[in-house]
Structure 1
Amino acid sequence: GTYLTSSEIDVIAFVAPDATLNIISDWQVKEKRSISIPEILEGTFNCPNTLCPTNARYGAPNTRFRVERGEQLEETKLHCTYCGSITYYGTIRDSIQSESFRIERRGLVSKGKIESVFLDVLIKGGALRFPPSPDQPFTLKSGRPSPYFVNLGALTDGESLGKLKWAFASYIALLVEEGEIPDFDYVFGPSYKGISLAALTCEGLNELYGMDKRYMYDRKEAKDYGDLSSDQVLVGAGYFKPGQRLLVVDDTITTGITKVETIEKLRMLGDHEVVGLVIAVDRQERLGDKDNVEDISAVQYLEQELGLKVHSIQNIESIYGLIKDSLSEEMRSLWLGYYRRYGTVKLG
């Protein structure tokens, strides 16, 4: 399951009239509602009259049908409101079951909406931090003097966690729906920050989109007590079956070293496939440290050398474009100088 458009709900009503929908508000399931066959059906099926002008030649049909219900589902008929032609249930069913049947869709949750909500929770929740002054930048693990710091661990209140869950689950559901990543069995979160993120993502996928997945995470140090058969290094691996797929989630990516370590640990599973990496923010930096700067970014390295496709909810170019007017001239100068030296993008 995933989010549905109204056209898809109408189609479901013709094949599964007893189905129910999750109605979502404020990132939570507020109501379960039964599906019913609509009185009017638009833009889903072609009129059987090939001369009817509602049958678009180069696009989706724009036929408008009046739905006539019978006592039995099989007695349902569609009446074209333009030419009066009738479509019977058997034709409807055969059309839905045909390999060529497609619905032009746009998800209820757009990528732009996800990006906007996510940036809002980053800033309001204190997960996107700025230094107290341009003279006191954050020092990253790489030694680079950064003008900002992303820390999803700062999101500890229930409201922020609810929005974080919604953003990751919605973004991943969108990626699956659009074919950007194949379906998967596990969400993997690298310790430590990735653990809670993987758990929240699993809960959100199931609660909001009916996608029931397991989650797994690694230990920084191997366990040497209790049951060592399944979770000595990879917790949750006891349910793993050969050939299953994993999606990795994490907060950000700078040098990519921790992501390479994650891929190496996952080799302990044996036969498996990592379908992609979803991160909160792509810093859009080149590999290296404070003094050594390479030509490619961490994302490019992971994609080219490891074949790991990286997807980010937000990237620093978009974030800077939205916040730059609120920065002082000195702070903007710090950002611009940092990305001239270390960035894969030039900030304007």
Structure 2
Amino acid sequence: MPGTHALAFIRFALEHGVLRFGEFKTKSGRVSPYFFNAGLFNDGACVGRLGRFYAEALVHSGLEFDMLFGPAYKGIPLATTTAVALAEHPVLAGRRIPFAFNRKEAKDHGEGGVLVGAPLAGRVVIIDDVVTAGTSVRESVGMIRAAGAQPAAVLIAMDRMERAGSEGNLSEHSAVQDLEQTYGIPVISIASLADVIGLLDGDQELIAHRDAVIAYRERYGI
């Protein structure tokens, strides 16, 4: 069974239609029995609660960190709401957590450049919704290192635990595992596909989807 925090997050995602079960065609052409779209956390109350889930996952990990970074565009509100939640977290006792994010295009006026927010310094946690191709993380790592700071971890909402590639030519590792090996930093997730399956095992209303999700993981997952 998933842990209490992961279970609460999965229930939260279901309530807001962020996690759905059925048949969904992905960008890779696969037909997936579930779909996770964090963009549907789209009002103030649920984004605030989402930030608290991110904050709790980061604090629970025990990771030492100094600030947050949100890659444009999805990572910007995620880093912002997580910084607010961390400032209110009882374990951090009011510690102020700086954050920064990037623009897609550099400005040539005002403060200029592509970076906005606190200066990148110390141990930086990159915050995103999921890891697929890893493009935003790769770009973020480059910006953080170029500023003389240290990428400390990647914090995501859902680990799909899924291999990339075509039928008969699947990657050896999942996108998350590849990222961890490439950059030597951990990926922390609020929940994973294994947690979703754990929920399905114990939920009579959703158990009908269990076999399809397990079959999908056996075919494409780790």
Identical amino acids, percent of aligned pairs = 36
The 3-state SS of whatever aligns with 2:144 is helix
C-alpha deviation, 1:197, in angstroms:
0.8
Matches within 5 A, 1:33-112: 112=3
Q: Structure 1's 121 and 343: CA in aligned 2 closer, same or farther, altered over 3 A?
A: same
Q: Residues of 2 paired with 1:146 and 1:163: CA distance?
A: 27
Give the structure with the larger helix fraction: 2
Query: CA 1:278–1:262 in 2, change beyond 3 Å: closer, same or farther?
Result: same
After superposition, what is the alpha-carbon deviation per residue over 1:198-226, rounded to whole angstroms, capped at 9, x for unaligned? Answer: 00110011122323111111222x23342
Alpha-carbon spacing, 1:197–1:338, altered in 2? closer, same or farther (3 Å): same
Corresponding position: 1:117 with 2:3:
no
Between the two structures, name the one with larger relative contact order (CA 8 Å, sep ≥ 6): 2
1:319 and 2:203 aligned: no
Deviation at 1:312, TM superposition (A): 1.1
Instruction: Output one character per residue of 1:151-177: Cα deviation in whole Å (capped at 9) or x when no partner.
Output: 22211233322321221112212223x
Q: Which has the larger radius of gyration?
A: 1
Amino acid corresponding to residue 276 of structure 1 in structure 2: A
Please, what TM-score do these two structures have when normalized by structure 2? Answer: 0.85
Q: Which residue of 2 aligns with 1:276?
A: 153
Aligned to 1:219: 103
RMSD: 2.4
CA shift digits 1:284-340 (9 cap, x unpaired): 0123356731111122212222101111110111112213553475x5454233222
How far, CA to CA, are the matches of 2:31 and 2:135 in structure 1? 18
Residue of structure 2 equivalent to 1:308:
185
Name which of 35, 43, 48 aligns with 1:162.
Answer: 48
SS at match of 1:219: strand
Give secondary structure in 2 for the equivalent of 1:130: strand
User: In the aligned structure 2, how far is the partner of 1:291 from the partner of 1:226?
Assistant: 51
Task: Give the aligned partner of residue 73 of structure 2.
Answer: 192
User: What residue in structure 1 maps to residue 35 of structure 2?
Assistant: 149
Structure 1 residue 261: Cα displacement: 2.9
Query: 1:326 and 1:261, CA in 2 relative to 1: closer, same or farther beyond 3 A?
Result: farther
Q: For this pair of structures, how many residues does the alignment match?
A: 216
Shift of 1:228: 4.6
**Structure 2 segments unaligned to the other structure (5+ residues):** none
CA displacement at 1:143 relative to structure 2:
3.4
**C-alpha distance 224-189 of structure 1, shift in aligned 2 (>3 A):** closer
TM value normalised by structure 1: 0.56
Give ranges in structure 1 of 5+ residues lacking alignment.
1-110
